[in-house]
Amino acid sequence: MEKQPIKPEFTFKMFEILGGLWLTGCVKTAAELNIADLLTSGPQTISFLAEETQSHEAQLYRVMRALCGAGIFEELENKTFALNDFGAALQTDVPGTAKNFVLTIMNEHFPCYGELTYAVQTGKVPFEHIHGKDLWGFYKEFPETGENFGKGMTGMSGMELKGIIENYDFKPYKKIVDIGGGNGVMIHTILKNAPQSSGIIFDEANVIEKTIKMIPENLSERCSVAIGSFFNEIPQGADLYTMKWILHDWNDDKCVQILKNCYDAMPKGAKLLIIDAVIPDDSLNKPHIAKLLDIVMLACLTGKERTLNEFKLIIEKAGLQFTQIIHIGTDAKSIIECEKI
């Protein structure tokens, strides 16, 4: 069959997709130069921004113009720029900031997305191919970069913590363990909304070292930490266990191992909440953010995003029983509840 010429509108659509790459390069520059922070006190001229960031004015203007064209910051008259709600997401050390996640994706992760062919043809992880070690080994070797990654995960948590609290009742549970709880933001939020509950943040020693210092004073009597690996042994005896953005990092065999350790730690009747993205089983040819998050997993880790049926399979293999899926208002996360019967 003779090949037909490509319709121009589809060539242009592909061109637009490539435009997303060019725009994210501009976002990275704005994050690295702290542009959002410089605009918090009010609109500033391009001359001021260039001087404060030690940049060439003409080149910085071109980047800012592109960002404003996408709704990130606002250009006023006389090459003056103002902060808007979208651009504010790039501020430093503000709850819900996307800045650290942007720097993670656009620095150590970025070259991996150009090597997806390597993943497809070898079945191996581009991140390991490029950096010579796996993601977690990389962050242990470069702790400052690892700390930025942790802050990035915390910043992204803001988009789902409200939905988790509003759609799941934590008050009936007296003892809650957050597995791989990182800096503790989720358990802090849970305990603030469940005043009779106590919580344990469980993670590795290099993480917990900083986690301890971040426990709010008003939660110090109800919130504690435990050190270990979820591949070995998990704190026992809680009536609720949570794990957010954990299982998607690992392949099915590793996930079953983690879930079996949860099963061993859980008394009968205890619940486990797996908080992860879920690809709808009926999403053929439909866009979904989890399908794109899955490319992050393909490029950087051995894990993947899963459909609900795929989650049910690994839950069943670990001896747990799936009870329900709870949607929390964002496609980036859902709550998968299971129980030890």
d(CA 309, CA 87): 38
Instruction: State how far the alpha carbon of 105 is from the alpha carbons of 21, 37, 109, 198, 218, in Å.
Output: 12, 20, 5, 34, 34
User: Given 129, 131, 248, 288, which residue is catalytic?
Assistant: 248
Cβ partners under 8 Å of residue 212, min gap 6: 225
Which uninterrupted H or E stretch holds 96? none
- What is the token pair recorded at 19? 């435009």
CA distances from 232 to 10, 17, 204, 210, 253 (A): 51, 43, 11, 22, 14
181 Cβ contact partners less than 8 Å away, ≥ 6 residues apart: 187, 201, 202, 203, 211, 242
Asked if 327 is an active-site residue, the reply is no
CA distance 171 to 288: 32
What ranges in 56-214 are assigned the alpha helix state H? 57-69, 85-88, 99-106, 110-113, 116-122, 126-131, 135-141, 143-167, 185-193, 205-211
Identify the sign of the CA torsion 123, 129, 131, 134: positive
How far apart are the C-alpha atoms of 127 and 116, rounded to whole Å?
Answer: 10
Report the alpha-carbon distance of residue 67 to residue 192 in Å, rounded. 38
Q: Do 207 and 182 contact (CB within 8 A), yes or no? A: yes
> Which residues are known to be catalytic?
248
